[in-house]
Amino acid sequence: MKKLVTITAEPIDEPALLSQRVMSQGMGAVVCFLGVVRGTEGNASISALEYEVFQSMAEHQINLLLDEAARRWPIESVRLVHRVGLVKANEPSLWVEVVAPHRGEAFAACQWLIDELKRVVPIWKKPVIGNT
């Protein structure tokens, strides 16, 4: 399985990521997920989320998750970009692309990856109230 993991303070450029997709002829499904910062956290209005990361451990944990996903589903590739630092409301903080032979496998793998990412990867978010 091909994999690419990027943790960056730079904005996520989805059009550029989409233009860089490479997949073989045997693949019939591409699932892309774009996670966007909401303007609320709980019942409070927020202007942004501040993401902090333990970089080396986060990359290690994400790669373990990608390896596990490859054992569970016949995935050709996964690309994952997580933004850190200050991410304003309505801006993307996470982009995931899963390429697999069929849509069911691609959707299942993508959802599992996102759920596990949030559960085990050392990336923390803090709401920012007020103008940024």
Domain boundaries, given as residue ranges, for the chain: 2-19+26-128
What pLDDT is recorded for position 42?
86
CA distances to 5, 19, 80 from 55, rounded to whole Å, are: 11, 27, 14
pLDDT in tens, 73-83: 999 999 999 99
* 53 DSSP β-pair partners: 123
Q: Does residue 132 have a pLDDT over 70?
A: no
pLDDT in tens, 98-115: 999 999 999 999 999 999
User: Would the pTM of this model clear 0.75, i.e. be above it?
Assistant: yes
Tokens coding 132: 């940024």
Which among 56, 59, 51, 57 has a CA at the least distance from the CA of 12? 51
* 32 DSSP β-pair partners: 97
Phi then psi for 11, rounded to 5 degrees? -60, 150
* The architecture CATH gives domain 2-19+26-128: Alpha-Beta Complex (3.90)
